[in-house]
Amino acid sequence: MTASDTGSPAPQGSLAHTGAGATPWLLRGTGLLLASGGGMVFAARRRHTDEAQDEEPDDS
39/46 Cα distance (integer angstroms): 10
43/36 Cα distance (integer angstroms): 10
Digit-coded pLDDT (tens) for 17-60: 887 888 999 999 999 999 999 999 999 998 878 777 776 666 55
42/17 Cα distance (integer angstroms): 40
Question: What's the confidence (pLDDT) of residue 49?
Answer: 80
- pLDDT for residue 1 is more than 70: no
Q: State the alpha helices, DSSP H only, in 10-59.
A: 23-55
- pTM, two decimals, is 0.54
